[in-house]
A and B are shown apart, each in its own frame.
Chain A
Amino acid sequence: MKTIIEVKNLKVHFPIGASRFFIKNQKQLKAVDGVSFKVKQGETFGLVGESGSGKTTLGRAILRLIEPTAGEILVNFNDETVAFSDLKYKELRSFWRHMQMVFQDPYASLNPRMTVKEIIGESLLANNLARGKELEKQVIAIAGLCHLNIEQLGRYPHAFSGGQRQRIAIARALVMHPQFIVADEPVSSLDVSIQAQILNLMKDLQKELGLTYLFIAHDLGAVAYVCDRVAVMYLGQIVELATTEQLYYTPRHPYTEALMSAIPSLDPEQPMKTVFLEGEQPNPANPPTGCTFHPRCRYADNEKCSKESPPFRELSDGWFVACHFAEKLNLMGSKGYSN
Chain B
Amino acid sequence: MEEKLILELRNLSISLKIDDNYLPIVKDVDLKVCNGKVLAIVGESGCGKSVMASSILRLLPRELKIVQGEILFHAQEEDHPVDIARLNPKGKEIRKIRGGKIAMIFQEPMSSFSPLHTIGNQIMEVIQLHKNESKLNARTRTIELLKKVGIGHPQKAVDRYPHTFSGGMRQRAMIARALSCDPAILIADEPTTALDVTIQAQVLRVMKQLQKEYGTGIVFITHNLGVVAQMADEVAIMYMGQIVEQGTVIEILKTPQHPYTKNLLKAVPQLGDLEAQKRLHPIKGSVPSLFGRPRGCAFHPRCQEMIKGVCDQKDPISRKLSESHIISCFQNENRSFQEQKK
B200 CB within 8 Å of chain A: yes
How many residues in B have their beta carbons less than 8 Å from beta carbons of A? 47
Q: How far is the CB of A235 from chain B (nearest CB, A)?
A: 13
Interface residues of A in 248-303 (CB under 8 A from B): 248, 258-259, 262-269, 271-272, 274, 276-277, 279-281
Q: Are B229's CB and A220's CB within 8 A? A: no
Give the distance in Å from the alpha carbon of A193 to the alpha carbon of B45 in the complex: 11
- A266 in contact with B226 given A161-B286, A200-B279 (CB within 8 Å): yes
B198 pairs with A192, CB closer than 8 A: no
Contact present for B198 and A50 (CB under 8 Å): yes
Query: Chain A interface: which of B74-82, B97-105, B114-122, B260-268?
Result: B260-268
Query: How far apart sit A73 and B230, CA to CA, in the bound complex (Å)?
Result: 43
Q: A51-B196, A262-B197, A263-B271 are in contact. Are A276 and B205 (CB under 8 A)?
A: yes
Contact indicator A244/B201 (Cβ below 8 Å) = no
- Report the Cα distance A218→B249, complex, angstroms: 26
User: CA A262 – CA B270 in complex, angstroms?
Assistant: 14
B277 at the interface (CB under 8 A from A): yes
Task: Verify if B227 is at the interface (C-beta below 8 Å from A).
Answer: yes
- Residues A265 and B226 in contact in the complex (CB < 8 Å), given A225-B269, A276-B202, A334-B271: yes
Flag if B286 contacts A194 (CB, 8 Å). Answer: yes
Given A193-B44, A268-B250, the answer on whether A279 and B265 have CB atoms closer than 8 Å is no
* Contacting pair B267 A218 (CB below 8 A): no
Chain A residue nearest to B47 (CB atoms) is: A191
Question: Within 8 Å of chain B (Cβ to Cβ): is A163?
Answer: yes
Asked whether A266 lies within 8 Å of B225 as measured between CB atoms, the reply is yes
CB-CB under 8 A for A259 and B282, given A268-B230, A281-B166: no
Contact A221 B270 (CB under 8 A): yes
Q: How far is the CB of B192 from chain A (nearest CB, A)?
A: 9
Interface string of B199-243 (1 = CB under 8 A from A): 111101100000000000000000111110110100000000000
B254 to chain A, nearest CB (A): 8
Closest to B232 in A: A268
Within 8 A of A (CB), among B116-157: 152
Q: Is the CB of B230 within 8 A of A264?
A: yes
Specify which of A51, A197, A245, A279 is in contact with B152 (CB 8 Å cutoff): A279
Q: Which residues in B have their C-beta under 8 angstroms from that of A199?
A: 269, 280
- What CA separation (Å) do A224 and B230 show in the bound complex? 20
User: Of the candidates B196, B202, B230, B264, which one forms a contact with A265 in the assembled complex, judged by CB atoms under 8 Å apart?
Assistant: B230
B226 touches A264 (CB 8 A): yes
User: Is B162 interfacial (CB-CB < 8 Å)?
Assistant: no
- State which size class the interface on A falls in: 35 or more
Residues of B contacting A203 with CB < 8 Å?
A: 279
Q: When the two chains form the complex, which single residue of B45, B229, B264 contacts A264, counting CB atoms closer than 8 Å?
A: B229
Residues of B within 8 A of A274 (CB): 201, 205
Contact between chains at A196 and B281 (CB < 8 Å): yes
Bound Cα distance from A280 to B168, whole angstroms: 8
Query: Which B residues, 176 to 194, have Cβ-Cβ distances below 8 Å to chain A?
Result: none
Contact of B267 among A193, A268, A276 (CB under 8 A): A193
In the complex, whether A335 has a CB less than 8 A from a CB of chain B is yes
0 or 1 for each of A22-50: is its CB under 8 Å from B? (1 = yes): 00000000000000000000000000001
Cβ-based interface call for A124 (8 A): no
- Indicate if A326 sits at the interface (CB-CB under 8 A): no
Q: Chain B residues with Cβ under 8 A from A196's Cβ?
A: 267-269, 280-283
Most buried by A among B230, B271, B286, B287: B271
Q: Nearest-CB distance from B144 to chain A (Å)?
A: 20
What residues on A are CB-neighbors of B225 within 8 Å?
Answer: 192, 266
> How near does chain B come to A240, taking the closest CB pair, in angstroms?
15
Report if A74 contacts B (CB, 8 A).
Answer: no
CA–CA, A313 and B336, complex, Å: 62
Residue of A nearest to B150 (CB): A278
B265 partner, pick from A164, A225, A266, A277, beta carbons under 8 A? A266
B271 in contact with A248 (CB, 8 Å): yes
Q: Is A82 an interface residue (CB 8 A)?
A: no
Q: Are A264 and B152 touching (Cβ within 8 A)?
A: no
With an 8 A cutoff between CB atoms, is A222 at the interface? yes
Q: Given the complex, which residues of A lie within 8 Å of B253, measured CB to CB?
A: 266-268
Asked if A195 is at the interface of the complex by the 8 Å CB criterion, the answer is: yes
When each residue 274-317 of chain B gets 1 if its CB lies under 8 Å from chain A and 0 otherwise, what string results?
Answer: 11010111110011000000000000000000000000000000
Q: A200 contacts which chain B residues (CB < 8 A)?
A: 279-280, 282
The CA of A194 and the CA of B264, in the complex, are separated in Å by 10
Q: Is the CB of A245 within 8 A of B270?
A: no
**Most B C-beta atoms less than 10 A away, residue of A193, A199, A218, A274:** A193
Tell whether, in the assembled complex, residue B271 and residue A262 are in contact, meaning their CB atoms are under 8 Å apart.
no
Closest to A221 in B: B269
In the complex, per-residue mask of A186-209: 1 if CB is within 8 Å of any chain B CB, else 0: 000001111111011001000000
Specify the chain B residue showing the minimal Cβ separation from A53.
B196
Residue of chain B at shortest CB distance from A199: B280
Residues of B within 8 A of A259 (CB): 197-198
Instruction: Decide if A50 touches B196 in the complex (CB within 8 Å).
Output: yes
Q: Report yes or no: A222 in contact with B269, Cβ–Cβ below 8 A.
A: yes
The one of B169, B227, B232, B268 that contacts A192, using a Cβ cutoff of 8 Å:
B268
- Asked if A192 and B264 make an inter-chain contact with CB atoms under 8 angstroms apart, the answer reads yes
B229 touches A268 (CB 8 A): yes
Report the bound CA distance from A162 to B60 in whole Å. 25
Residues of chain A contacted by B254 (CB below 8 angstroms): 268-269
Smallest CB gap from A198: residue in B: B282
Contact B45 A197 (CB under 8 A): no
Q: Nearest-CB distance from A160 to chain B (Å)?
A: 10
Knowing A50-B199, A192-B44, A267-B229 are in contact, say whether A280-B282 is a contact too (CB < 8 A): no
Contact with A along B160-173 (1 / 0, CB 8 A): 00000011110000
Q: A272 contacts which of B202, B230, B277, B280 (Cβ < 8 Å)?
A: B230
CB distance from A13 to the nearest CB of B (A): 22
Inter-chain CA distance A233–B274, complex, in Å, is 22
Give the Cβ gap from B176 to chain A, nearest Cβ, in Å.
16
**Assuming the A-B contacts A264-B226, A265-B229, are A193 and B198 also in contact, with contact meaning beta carbons closer than 8 angstroms in the complex?**
no
- 12 A-B pairs, CB-CB below 8 angstroms? A50-B196, A194-B286, A195-B282, A196-B267, A218-B196, A221-B270, A244-B274, A262-B197, A265-B226, A266-B225, A268-B229, A280-B166
